[in-house]
Amino acid sequence: MELETELRRAIPAGELVVYYQPKLDVAANRFVGAEALVRWQHPRHGLLPPGRFIPIAEDSALIVDVGEYVLRQACLQARLWHEAGHEGMSVAVNVAARQLRDERIVGTVRDVLRETSLAPSCLELEITESSIMHDLEHATALLHALKGLGVSISIDDFGTGYSSLSALRNFPADKLKIDRSFVHEIETVSSAAAVALAVISFARTLGMRVNAEGVETLGQAQCLRKHGCDEIQGFLLARPVPADEVQAVFRQPG
């Protein structure tokens, strides 16, 4: 059967599983939230990473259903963390380019927040730089509407999307996420380090926070800390884990 047909069936069948990767606040040295990353528990192929099916979903309207499913699960989880004493933990949800083209996303986010009673300030939406640049004017208007709900906006994979910095000057984002390709080479390739440091300084100037993803070594973490990066995530701190394991990670010191 085609993967797309199977995926359509997999959503109501409950085969999508949301994992969470904790994010560490560098200054406070404690976890402040987690990014929701979907996987597919496929009946025959086992646990599939998002790279195997998200691109297929993005080619059709299916990504809207996948996105809404992940959003609802993630908001429910964040509520559970709060009830378990991890107050203020935020959850970050990836939003695909195609979801951004559809105005209904604003109503969906509002409804899910109401349904789950999650404080809007604890929901972070991650939008890739390239999907914003695809239609900057439309994305800007839509993100203003989303921000009006009280959620926060992060620009994902930052540094890979060729945005003009001036275009982003008036963009309603709260955080930039340095793409992991730059983090990977931050100690070894001077041009990668230059991009990472430029992103940190650009964010600082605009009053945005900065996250670095894909942090795998202590050296990378120390370099990022030294240059004022606010938040890090990556295998060094924690891999993406199933929902029932996140709280144990939150309790660990960074």
Chain contacts with Mn ion (rule: CB under 5 A): 94, 126, 156
Residue listed under structure tokens 């982003």? 168
Return the number of the residue (91 or 170) whose C-beta is nearest ligand G: 91
Which of ligand G, Mn ion, Na ion, none does residue 22 bind (CB under 5 to 8 Å by kind)? none
Least Cβ distance, residue 210 to ligand G (angstroms):
14
Q: Which does 132 bind (CB under 5 to 8 A by kind): Na ion, ligand G, Mn ion, none?
A: none
Applying CB under 6 A, among 14, 46, 51, 207 the residue interacting with ligand G is 51
CA 197 to chain centre: 21
DSSP line for 196-209: HHHHHHHHHHHT-E
Count, residues in the chain: 254
**Residue 82 CB, nearest approach to Na ion (Å):** 25
Phi, psi torsion values for 154, nearest 5 degrees: -120, 145
- Tokens 């620009």 correspond to 155
- Which of 56, 26, 59, 61 minimizes the C-alpha distance to 38? 56
Closest CA relative to residue 78, chosen from 110, 118, 127: 118
- For position 224 contacting ligand G by CB under 6 A, the verdict is no
Q: How far is the CB of 67 from ligand G (least distance, A)?
A: 6
Task: Please report, as ranges, the residues that interact with ligand G according to CB under 6 A.
Answer: 21, 37-38, 49-51, 54, 67, 70, 94, 96, 156-157, 180, 213-216, 234-235, 240
